[in-house]
């Protein structure tokens, strides 16, 4: 079984992903794969360099994220161009990895941690979607504390994603992470038992 794991920024996806891994799930992390596909020698990095110029490449051949960020940050068209290069590469690598895990053990749970799962229309690739949920007020508070952000910048980042309530309504399983770690762990346990994964 393969599920997509998503939620809002600062909702606690990583915490829930770790709890699932502790119980025996195999994790494929979109953020980690996103870093892999822009390593030196990767076709996606070459495509980024040819689209945005050598200024986005450090002298050692690695991606200069800061320079690239400055180019695409306030330009929707250029950001879309970058996403058109990276998203297919990330998706393809993730699907390869999921397939490997499924071949190793068809009974184990494979979890794909994808922050923008709904926004990039990937829900249909999975047997079900788990959303890690916290109300927006708490999400804002956690994001400001975690990233040392002013409220306006934190709200801007939250606004770049689909509304957390929409994600919650579309989920097959919701893990409410607004309480204690123990409460979150209990919900993960209930999910694990309900799927007969133990």
**First-to-final CA distance of the chain:** 13
Instruction: Verify that 147 and 174 share a domain, yes or no.
Output: yes
Domain boundary among 40, 74, 108: 108
- Verify that 194 and 118 share a domain, yes or no: yes
The pLDDT assigned to 197 comes to: 66
pLDDT at 196: 77
Question: Are 119 and 143 within one domain?
Answer: yes
Angle between helices 76-104 and 65-72 (to 10 degrees): 130
Q: Which of residues 82, 108, 134 is at a domain's end? A: 108
pLDDT digits (tens, 9 = 90+) for 68-77: 999 998 888 9
Rounded percentage of the chain residues whose pLDDT exceeds 90: 90
Task: Read off the pTM.
Answer: 0.89
Average pLDDT, the chain: 94
Residues 17 and 11: their CA atoms lie apart, in Å, by 12
Domain that holds residue 87: 31-108
Cβ within 8 Å of residue 12, ≥6 positions away: 132, 134, 177, 184
Q: Residues 14, 70: one domain?
A: no
Asked if 178 and 139 touch (Cβ cutoff 8 Å), the reply is no
User: Is 186 in contact with 180 (CB distance < 8 Å)?
Assistant: no
pLDDT digits (tens, 9 = 90+) for 88-135: 999 999 999 999 999 999 999 999 999 999 998 999 999 999 999 999
């Amino acid at each position: 079984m393969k599920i997509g794991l998503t939620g809002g920024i600062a909702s606690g996806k990583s915490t829930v992903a770790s709890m699932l891994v502790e119980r025996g799930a195999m994790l494929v992390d979109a953020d980690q794969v996103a870093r892999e596909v822009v390593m030196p020698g990767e076709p996606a990095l070459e495509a980024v360099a040819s689209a945005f110029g050598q200024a986005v490449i450090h002298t050692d051949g690695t991606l200069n994220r800061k320079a690239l960020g400055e180019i695409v940050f306030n330009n929707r068209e250029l950001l879309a161009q970058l996403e058109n290069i990276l998203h297919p590469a990330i998706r393809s690598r993730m699907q390869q990895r999921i397939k490997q895990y499924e071949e190793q053990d068809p009974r184990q749970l494979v979890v794909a941690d994808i922050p923008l799962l709904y926004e990039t229309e990937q829900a249909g690739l999975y047997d079900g979607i788990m959303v890690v949920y916290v109300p927006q007020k708490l999400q804002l508070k956690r994001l400001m504390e975690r990233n040392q952000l002013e409220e306006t910048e934190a709200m801007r980042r939250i606004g770049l994603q689909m509304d957390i309530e929409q994600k919650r309504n579309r989920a097959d399983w919701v893990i409410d992470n607004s309480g204690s770690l123990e409460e979150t762990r209990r919900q993960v346990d209930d999910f694990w038992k309900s799927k007969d994964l133990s």
